[in-house]
Structures are given as C-alpha cells and as structure tokens.
Amino acid sequence: MFKNILYYSKACYEELVCKTTWPTRAELIHRAMIVLSASLIIAVVVFSMDFIIQHLMAFVYPS
C-alpha cells in the first residue's frame, strides 16, 4: 500500500515539475485582466437587466 502511495506521489511531482508548462507572468496578468473584464461586463449587464425589470414591474404593478 505504501509503495503505491510513494509511486503516486513521485508521479504527481514529475507531472508538475517536468511535464507542466507554466504561463509566464505577462501571460498570467493578461489572462487575469480578461477574466476581470468579462466579470465586470457580466455584472453590468445583470445590474442593467435587474434595474430595467424592477422599473417595468413598478410600472405594471403600482403600489
């Protein structure tokens, strides 16, 4: 059992160190900016839809 765990640990280490290609700092920053921009756009769209629907419902069902 311990032999299997040791083999698995060595295989995981080799995969992470030797076979994985890590992004450069510039690539990482670029991708993070894309994700942040997309998140901001989606948030603005959802806020706008909520605002419009809220006012439409207030018009349809006046208090």
DSSP string across the chain: -HHHHHHHHHHHHHIIIIIPPPPPHHHHHHHHHHHHHHHHHHHHHHHHHHHHHHHHHHHHS--
Alpha carbons 37 and 31: distance in angstroms, whole number: 10
Q: What local confidence, expressed as pLDDT, does residue 1 receive?
A: 82
Q: What local confidence, expressed as pLDDT, does residue 30 receive?
A: 98
pTM of the model: 0.66
pLDDT at 2 over 90: no
pLDDT at 63 over 80: no
11-45 per-position pLDDT tens digit: 999 999 998 898 999 999 999 999 999 999 999 99
Query: Region 57-63: what's the mean pLDDT?
Result: 90
Q: How many angstroms separate the first and last alpha carbons of the chain?
A: 70
